[in-house]
Structure 1
Amino acid sequence: MSSTIVLVADQQEVNAPLSRRLEDQDHSVFVVKDIPEALLYLRDPACTASVVVFQQAMRRQQDAMTLAEICSFRPYLQIILLAEKGKSPLGEIPVPHANIRILQRPVNPQDLFQVVQDAVGAVDALLDKKQSAIDLDLTSENNDSGLPMFTTPFLMRVGMADVPVLLHGETGVGKEVMARKLCAYSPRAQKPFLKLNCAALPSELVESELFGYEKGAFTGAAIDKPGKFEIAQGGTILLDEIGDMDIRLQAKLLQVLQDGEVQPLGSRKTLKLNVRVLAATHRDLRRAIELGTFREDLYYRLNVVSIVIPPLRERRDEIIPLAEKLLRRHLRAGIPEPLLTESFKNLMLQYDWPGNVRELENLMRRLLVYQNESMITGDLELAIAQSKSRSRPALSQSGEASEAVQSVATPQPTASQISSMDHLAEVSRQAEAKLLLDALEATHWNRRQAAARLNLDYKAFLYKLQKLGIVEKREKAEVPQTA
């Protein structure tokens, strides 16, 4: 199989014969003069290189960091480094990638040619293995992903559509698994797949992670750093927990999706994007729109295809088959597979699995460690009892359910009702917003006094206001109405 090979050449006596021999084998050879030019080419989404030969040592830490970044989204790229005897080609910088081969100078041209050929063969083997895995998955309707309710033809149809997809579902149901499957069945399968959890970082860090920044853009920006949109060129990016993204950052994201280009922080240049965006959330975004914490225009931009992944408690017929497959997934060589008794299966079917597939997987891994069902039966029985006691209304002395409990009692959510998803989390969010608003009103909107009143760190208090959109709401309310 022919491949594209990049030669970073400073020794013409080695480069010329190597280029000729590789071209005789139907390989495409692309020669660049120095390391910065090579790294720029390798970062280009249109680059098809499978092997790169560096005949120059990397002296700058930034070059080695860029190489590590390239390796992260080109997992099949084979790298050959030529080094002086007894010296590392990266200086004191650790080798950033497993697919790196180091040769000591002086190098015999025949030896270098053979190493390049071996590297090409390694790429072909990895790609064949990847394709075989996809082909095998395509023939399996009930795979061990935790998503057997979605048929392969459905996943292929949505994957090939190359449009934004919004994934709804409780924590642990497998939204990221679904996103990766859609990517595997898409034309972008061999391109980067990157994920950013919008709830795990403050909005300022989310912004720099998404859009990147130039050196000097802010304190601590010592080098240029590409954002995930730039790194994912040609591939797919998953915005996990999109419902927790700061509303001001949502406006910038909307502009990026509409214009198809991104501007790094501190930069005057814009970069054209070719990235498929998938988004996932456990929140009710329609309710968030009503509360003013999520932009309606962004919702419709992301919601071209909407997929609701039901919680595990609504597909109880899948619990046992899925548990058995998860057991086999984590089974190590030499360890017998535990058999699930009927009594244990009945317990599993009684439990509501608030942690969904993730919780079920953790239980199966625990069973593999203990190799004894009885050691976790008690925990499961206790969890079932606690679950039932939580769902039963508290009784007053007269034997009637108290009004306080009745006021918050709600039916269990269904797969078809997105607005009912994770009601408890939404109630908690509303209660937190009311608490903050009450403190602000009591202190005449003095934020420092309100933070002290709630015994909160001031910066943490400001972050909560931003996250819940409370500051924006008050600013809108203060705009004078025109006649």
Structure 2
Amino acid sequence: MSNGTVLVADDDAAIRTVVSQALSRAGYDVRVTSNAATLWRWVAAGEGDAVVSDVVMPDDNLFDLLPRMKKLRPDLPVIVMSAQNTFMTAIRATEKGAYEYLPKPFDLVELTGIVGRSLTELKRKGSGDGVSPDDAGEAMPLVGRSPAMQDIYRVLARMIQSDLTVLINGESGTGKELVARALHEYGKRKNGPFVAINMAAIPRDLIESELFGHEKGAFTGATSRSTGRFEQAENGTLFLDEIGDMPMDAQTRLLRVLQQGEYMTVGGRTPIRTNVRIVAATNKDLRALISQGLFREDLYYRLNVVPLRIPPLRERLEDIGDLVSHFLAKVHDEGLEAKRILPDALELMRRYDWPGNVRELENLIRRLAALYPQDEITAEIVASELRSSEGAGGGGEGAQGAIAAGDMSIAQAVEVNMQRYFASFGEALPPPGLYHRVLAEMEYPLIMAALTATRGNQIRAADVLGLNRNTLRKKIKDLGVTVIKG
């Protein structure tokens, strides 16, 4: 007995054959065609229970045909196959009403599973009005065709028309904010504001005021009422970057917002209703922080409704070519001379580990475009730049020979990371107060590292740090450092 009839359309005879065989073995009747006209004739005649189709065919584009198919037969599930494996292809498939998007090459077992689900699940309601990418040259918010990126595209395509809270996890420099912006700019809140706040870049005692705002006289220096990021993001998206650095008090207040949809300003007495979508991100293991008592477990589950992991660049090295082309075009648009990366130089990049991830790659391309007059960038040039990057982050003697080796290593590490921090703002500059903010933010990891190295022995840690023991004890209390004795 047949499980249903599937219409398969693809101009590649080999793909028609393998898809037809796989679906036939799964118990479906299969009809195949190489063109869009025949597919439309079958659909218009009421034939088929599901469609599996390529996007580009000799006589038409499936994305032009899909609206007519959905208008005539709104419950007909259409599974889209495409070799144009970009973020916009996944978004367009969702926008046009496709049931699922599969990048080529795909797993046949996965395809038959999707067809089975499409015939048993309720059809997803509507396609919304989130995006209308009508031209082939639209800007790409995310770049890469690797399987890891395809998984991200498919999740994002499903999530853009919802208000579900998303928790993005990934190393620094992987593009977590880009993903958050894509969720906003291609979703139903695109006409509202996108507001980002980095928990690691704000002094811990100011985070609540930054998030929720404060009333006049709420604390010393509060000479007037100030709006917080929640108010600024009303009807839009609030991106909470490095959520793992949020203090416990602020976590409690954030939990209230997620549970009850309201908050109070610092010093305020009247609850304020809020309508924002929360997207959070972290480069830390929140479960480990929970076990250390540094992150609320109930808040974690409120944030982790839709988890999304952004892979480090070393896990998707096949995307290097696309990323390099993207960044070369970007710097050219900004006024720098066009460059060409030679194949051997590109191959060298694919063998590099990229500890700074996509941000490090973009910074490299900017340096190559700015510092080298040659039209063609060779492997020797790339190798020299990569060696300089590795040397900048390591220890050893350098030009500042008067500084001790240990201090030299710390100075270099701070310099490299601050350069990356400034680069993350693009043409803009960081918020005011950076000097005191950096000094304040360095205290916590510095004291934690000293305590870890001394197995929680505060006398030895104070000696390493050059602090009085009572001073260290007070800082441990004020900063909320967890002392683990071992």
TM range (shorter): 0.5 to 0.7
Please give the residue correspondences for 1:107-256 in structure 2 after superposition, counting only pairs within 5 Å: 134-136=131-133, 143=140, 145-146=142-143, 148=145, 149-150=149-150, 152-256=153-257
CA distance in 2, matches of 1:219, 1:173: 39
Structure 1: distance between partners of 2:245 and 2:134: 33
Which residue in 2 is equivalent to 1:371?
373
| Residue matched to 2:259 | 258
CA deviation string 1:209-240 (max 9, x = no partner) = 00111001111001001111112111110110
In 2 relative to 1, CA 260–469 (structure 1 residues): closer, same or farther, beyond 3 Å? Answer: farther
Closer, same or farther: CA 243–212 of 1 in aligned 2, 3 Å = same
Partner Cα separation in structure 1 for residue 173 and residue 467 of structure 2 = 30
In 2, the alpha carbon distance for the partners of 1:144 and 1:161 equals 19
> Matched residue of 1:223: which SS?
coil
- SS of equivalent residue, structure 2 residue 234: coil
Partner amino acid, structure 2, of 1:361: E
* Residue equivalent to 1:283: 284
TM-score between the two structures when normalised by the length of structure 2: 0.54
The percent identity for this pair of structures is 41
Check whether the contact 2:193–2:233 (CA below 8 A) recurs between aligned residues.
yes
How many Å apart are 1:359 and its aligned residue?
Answer: 0.6
Q: Which amino acid in 2 is paired with 1:135?
A: S
Aligned-pair CA distance for 1:270: 1.1
Residues 212, 264 of structure 1: 8 Å contact kept = yes
Q: 1:452 to 1:381 in 2, by over 3 A?
A: closer
The alignment's TM-score, normalised by the length of structure 1, stands at: 0.55
- 1: CA distance between counterparts of 2:269 and 2:173? 40
* Partner Cα separation in structure 2 for residue 283 and residue 305 of structure 1: 17
Q: Which digits, 9 at most, give the CA deviation of each residue in 1:292-322, with x for residues without a partner?
A: 1111111001000000000000101101221
Unaligned runs of 5+ in 1: 1-131, 390-426, 444-449, 475-483
Q: How far off its partner does 1:377 sit?
A: 3.2
Partner of 1:10: none
In the alignment, residue 158 of structure 1 is paired with which amino acid? Answer: M
Per the TM alignment, residue 434 of structure 1 is displaced from its structure 2 partner at its CA by 2.5
Tell me the distance in 1 between the aligned counterparts of 2:135 and 2:282.
27
Q: Supply the AA of the counterpart residue of 2:383.
A: T
For residues 198 and 138 of structure 1, the distance between their equivalents in structure 2, rounded to whole angstroms, comes to: 38
Structure 1 residues 461, 316: closer, same or farther in 2, change over 3 A? farther
Question: Residue in 1 aligned with 2:421?
Answer: none
Quote the residue 1:272 is aligned against. 273
Selected match of 1:454 from 454, 457, 465: 465
CA drift of 1:454 comes to 2.7
Can you list the C-alpha shifts for 1:371-400, whole angstroms capped at 9, x where unaligned?
A: 3435443122565799999xxxxxxxxxxx
Do 1:240 and 1:281's aligned partners in 2 also have CA atoms closer than 8 Å? Answer: yes
In 1, the alpha carbon distance for the partners of 2:134 and 2:144 equals: 13
Cα deviation digits, residues 6-41 of structure 1 (max 9, x gap): xxxxxxxxxxxxxxxxxxxxxxxxxxxxxxxxxxxx
CA positional deviation for 1:159: 1.6
1:253-304 CA-partner distances (Å, limit 9, x unpaired): 1122212111111111110111111100000111111111111111001000
User: In structure 1, the residue corresponding to 2:161 is in which secondary structure?
Assistant: helix
Return the offset for 1:464.
5.9
Structure 1 residues 256, 187: CA separation in 2 closer, same or farther (over 3 Å shift)? same
User: Could you say what secondary structure the match of 1:157 adopts?
Assistant: helix
| 1:470 is aligned to 2:482 | yes
Tell me the distance in 2 between the aligned counterparts of 1:455 and 1:201: 26
Q: Is the 8 A contact 2:184 2:194 kept in 1?
A: yes
Show the 5 A alignment for 1:63-74.
none
What do you get for the CA RMSD once the two structures are aligned?
3.8
Q: Distance in 1 between matches of 2:260 and 2:292?
A: 27
- Post-superposition Cα deviations, 1:112-153, rounded to whole Å, max 9, x if no partner, equal xxxxxxxxxxxxxxxxxxxx9953399789936345514655
Flag the 1:290–1:332 CA change in 2: closer, same or farther, 3 A: same
Q: Flag the 1:356–1:452 CA change in 2: closer, same or farther, 3 A.
A: same
Contact 2:173 2:360 (C-alpha < 8 Å) held by counterparts:
yes
Mapped contact 2:264–2:270 kept (Cα < 8 A): yes
1:434 matches 2:452: yes
Q: Distance in 2 between matches of 1:141 and 1:171?
A: 27
